[in-house]
Structure 1
């Protein structure tokens, strides 16, 4: 299991402590962080936990975490640091991946998502939603996965690293990864692995950088062949429209910053080649 985290040691500690209580825990939890200060005191000394320091950015940190594992196991799970899993998540994950050998990438059922709700969830809300989730073994083939919880085969993880040109928050890196995994087998949504995404906002990139990535990353994916032109344009107008319509909604995070970032992204695409790594300069600007 690999978790990329930056500047959220308290949250990371709570997430890992919950993961260590799984009915069938992961063999190894790799914490890929931008600095040792990102890991709470004592956590690195826990059995089954490894800390690796990486350049900042979710794609880079995930790849660094994978490179630290030798040999790479049969299954590799990537989790966000603000995810809460049902206690039997890994037990059911191993069972279904054993029964379905042609599945190369799996994402679980997120029963409640703070990102979709536009607010941060409390751990209590997340646990209640997980407990209330109906029992299901539905396995559905899908086109993309949700990056907060996804598991791939070890040999696929080695052949399909995350695209490190998609920097920092790496908007849509999960979609890019899923499309490439499709070349190796089935990509599925499994309702038996239940999770909740808290969508904790602290430590994330600013709205301007996120808005920039909302435009440039789909363009980058179109150029490399992991997104169609129609889907790229659909994404552009969806993000631009959402950020414009919600400018006055103070309950939504930094919509004005996202809108400015969208415009900067269009300028990047039109005049500078659509470089996704340019988001780092946008994030550093004021």
Structure 2
């Protein structure tokens, strides 16, 4: 007689880091509450000056008898990475959805993701990423389901020689692929297999996650948290954390779990500052976590980025060259990072970021 282990469904929670964007936050949470599989908790870490006013409005969305645990609080540091770590520390759910406040889930997004985690009974998968749709959920009834995934479109185009050339330029010259701009800390990307239990579930393997649509096992992200030294919206925090998890557990995208990244610009910083911070953050992370090979690859990568960002600025008619100038600034300012003792670096880097943000 076969000994069957009793199935225990996993719980999921929505964890949101936000700042001064109450309208899109409300939409994000309304769509989470409308999921075919409800969350057990919603945790919002809001660094807006009037966060308490926002809290009252969001808490009113939760029905008293829903059984959904609601936590809405602030934290002292304006940092998406710190806010997300704070939310994870507050969470009780088995699976944490760490999507952006302008990420809009389709009704079955959560259920499709949870099916994958539950099928992976040996917990070989550390994270499941939603698939991107090119329109918000409420617009899709008239348009029909259309997914936007640059990698998949590129793969399709490779059947044609023109497509192959375009893909090479897009990826290798313009560096428009996250694996081209991220330096693996151990010299190469790990390639862990997709567990047999989920291979027929419309998933494909990933090496890095896109922050607007990532979910993790709570224990995995507790073990490999976001980098607390990063400030503002912490560009690169998603690649860093997902890479560190990928060294011991697989990462996958769930093709049927659709989400639209609405890309609200309010509260974001300009192109120049974003470029400087992105590359300074990478210098910090490679210094903290990278081996000798990874560290040697950083300066040549910056030179490749300088050409790529210059070309993108010109093609987009950005005559002040904000992204190219951002790379030049990062080249200059990051030189001292590899030589700083850890304690000194941890004290200096938040101050450095604040100076960049205030320029």
Q: TM-score range by the shorter chain?
A: 0.7 to 0.9
Q: Quick check: 1:105–1:151 contact (8 Å CA) kept in 2?
A: yes
Q: Residue 122 and residue 187 in structure 1: after superposition, are their counterparts in 2 closer, same or farther (change >3 A)?
A: closer
Corresponding position: 1:131 with 2:145: yes
The answer (yes or no) to whether the contact 2:25–2:101 under 8 Å persists in 1 is yes
CA distance in 2, matches of 1:150, 1:160: 14
Distance 1:125 1:178, change over 3 A: same
Residue matched to 1:279: 353
Determine whether 1:83 maps to 2:107.
no
Kindly indicate whether the alpha-carbon contact (under 8 Å) linking 1:123 and 1:198 is maintained by their aligned counterparts in 2. Answer: no
User: Which position in structure 2 is the counterpart of 1:115?
Assistant: none
Select 1:262's aligned residue among 319, 327, 330. 327
Contact 1:214 1:236 in 2 (8 A): no
Q: What is the CA–CA distance in structure 2 between the aligned matches of 1:16 and 1:161, rounded to whole Å?
A: 24
Instruction: Normalising by structure 1, report the TM-score.
Output: 0.83
Distance apart, 1:238 and its partner CA: 5.2
Distance 1:249 1:122, change over 3 A: farther
Query: What is the aligned partner in structure 2 of residue 106 from structure 1?
Result: 128
1:158 equivalent to 2:196? Answer no
Q: Which runs of 5+ in 1 are unaligned?
A: 113-120
User: Counterpart of 2:44?
Assistant: 31
Which runs of no fewer than 5 residues in structure 2 stay unpaired?
A: 1-13, 63-67, 149-199
SS where residue 29 of structure 1 aligns? Answer: strand
State the aligned residue count: 273
1:2–1:78 Cα contact (<8 Å) kept: yes
Note if 1:46 corresponds to 2:58: no
Which secondary structure does the structure 2 equivalent of 1:76 belong to? Answer: strand
Query: In terms of mean alpha carbon deviation, does 156-165 or 36-45 score higher?
Result: 36-45
Q: In the TM superposition, what are the counterparts of 1:1-286 in structure 2 within 5 Å? A: 1-35=14-48, 37-38=50-51, 39=54, 41-47=56-62, 48=68, 49-54=70-75, 55-69=77-91, 72-100=92-120, 101-112=123-134, 131-133=145-147, 137-225=201-289, 228-229=294-295, 232=298, 236-237=302-303, 239-248=305-314, 256-271=321-336, 277=350, 278-285=352-359
Question: Between Structure 1 and Structure 2, which shows a larger proportion of strand residues?
Answer: 1
Aligned pair in 2 of structure 1 residues 238, 198: CA closer, same or farther (>3 Å)?
Answer: farther
Query: CA 1:44–1:220 in 2, change beyond 3 Å: closer, same or farther?
Result: same
- C-alpha distance in 2, partners of 1:237/1:125? 42
Provide closer, same or farther for how the CA distance between residues 130 and 81 of structure 1 changes in structure 2, counting only shifts above 3 A. farther
Per-residue CA deviation, residues 1-25 of structure 1 (Å, 9 max, x unaligned), is 1111111111111211122111112
- 1:139-180 Cα shifts (integer Å, max 9, x gaps): 222211111111111211221211011221211111110121
Shifted more, 42-51 versus 260-269: the winner is: 42-51
Aligned-residue Cα RMSD (Å) equals 3.0
- Cα deviation, residue 208, structure 1: 2.7
